[in-house]
Structure 1
Amino acid sequence: MSRMISLIYNGWNIYVRLAIPEKHHEAITSRPLLLSGIGRQAKHSDKKTITVTSMHGKANKLAKAYHRLSTLFNELKEIAPQLTLDECWNHLLQKIVDYFEKKSRGSDPPGMFLPAG
């Protein structure tokens, strides 16, 4: 049971980090934030559209997060037929790592100011 719980918890953390990469969110705060919306699916000429309406006080922040996720999953949907399951996961995880690499480029590399010798 603990393995199943940790698998779900880690999956949720990956999802939240993809949605809001700027900050780590604990599950107790991120679940009400991201699960407060009401979704509606519309289908028109074989194109499905999902509209999420949020009543949360941070709806602007959520709109950016949903847009980021939508863009990422649309990109993955286009390339997924050529990828294996492991490659799909690697692609998603690489998006998270890319954010941290881009963020750390602005700082000095480790050891730059260490005395020589």
Structure 2
Amino acid sequence: MFYEIMFYEVIFCEVIFYEVIFYEVIFCEIIFCEIIFCEIIVYDVIFCKIIFCEIIFCEIIVYDVIFCEIIFYEVIFYEVIFYKIIFCEIIFYEVIFYEVIFYKIIFYEVIF
């Protein structure tokens, strides 16, 4: 039996979260630095007047991006680094964090 398995480079840095659930959480003028989230599911998220600088989403770089009334469903972030981020009137519903500790794990296409 041969199975074609494809793995991608994943880098995590000591992030430990335990089933954290947020309901109607409002953040104003909050600055996060070097934050890494793993397997984050967000439902009904509204962003207003948000400024992102040097943000990496799955090897995607965004500079000075302003989002207003954006709704994300089942959003998964890997290797996300936030710098000087300002959140205002943000509502998170059913946010679940899992304990994940990885160190420079690199997977390549493995064929069995």
Taking structure 2 as the reference length, the TM-score comes to 0.20
Higher helix proportion (structure 1 or 2)? 1
Higher relative contact order (CA 8 A, sep 6+): 2
- Bigger Rg over Cα: 1
